[in-house]
Structure formats: structure tokens, C-alpha cells
Amino acid sequence: MKPVVTITYCPKCGWLLRAAYMAQELLTTFEEDLGGVTLKPAEIAGSYQVFVDDFMLFDRKREGRFPDIKELKQLVRDRVNPGKSLGHSDRKTEG
């Protein structure tokens, strides 16, 4: 089973579009690596969390911000396919 990314978002906050954008970026970059991306309305206001299977990659409340897309791809890559190059989005020195 390939890993599945879940993006949990606060629907009342209007974050569906952001979550759907990130889902499409991940599915484009990791087309061969992921079993899918699930968009999941959160029960908790202000929640925006990204998981690979059960492992939490990013939590907006913990970080105090949203992930940027380059950072998110690096986090997913490190978890699902560490040898994969992300091309121009890959600047390990920033990690």
C-alpha cells in the first residue's frame, strides 16, 4: 500500500481551497509515490494539519503558520521517497 496524505482543514475558516491546491501539488509531484490525498473537514476550528498515513507532518497550531508548498513537498518527500529530487524546489540548506 502506498502512503496516503491527509490534509485536515477548517471549513468554516475557508481553507478548503488552500487544502485542495496543496493536494493537487502533491499529487502532481508524487504521482507515483502516493496512494492518494484525502481532504478532510476538521471538527476543530482553526485546524490545518497534514499527515502521511498516521504520522503528522505539519500542524498549523503548533507552527503558528501554514506550510509553504516547497517545504511541504520536502516533508512529504523525506517521508515517502527520500531519494527523490524535487528539482528547483529542493534546497536542502533551507531545511
H helical segments located in the chain? 16-29, 60-63, 69-80
Residue nearer to a second copy on the CB measure, 35 or 95: 35
What is the closest distance, in whole angstroms, from the C-beta atom of residue 13 to a second copy in the complex? 12
Residue nearer to a second copy on the CB measure, 6 or 74: 6
Contact positions vs a second copy (CB under 8 A): 4, 6, 11, 16-17, 20, 23-24, 27-28, 31, 34-41
What is the closest distance, in whole angstroms, from the C-beta atom of residue 92 to a second copy in the complex? 27
Measuring CA to CA, how many Å separate 73 from each of 12, 13, 32, 33, 43? Answer: 26, 23, 14, 12, 25
What is the closest distance, in whole angstroms, from the C-beta atom of residue 93 to a second copy in the complex? 31
Residue nearer to a second copy on the CB measure, 20 or 69: 20
| Cβ-proximal residues to 74 (8 Å cutoff; 6+ apart), any chain | 86, 89, 90, 95
- Residue 48 host element (H or E): strand 48-52
Helix, strand or coil for residue 8? strand
What is the closest distance, in whole angstroms, from the C-beta atom of residue 20 to a second copy in the complex? 5
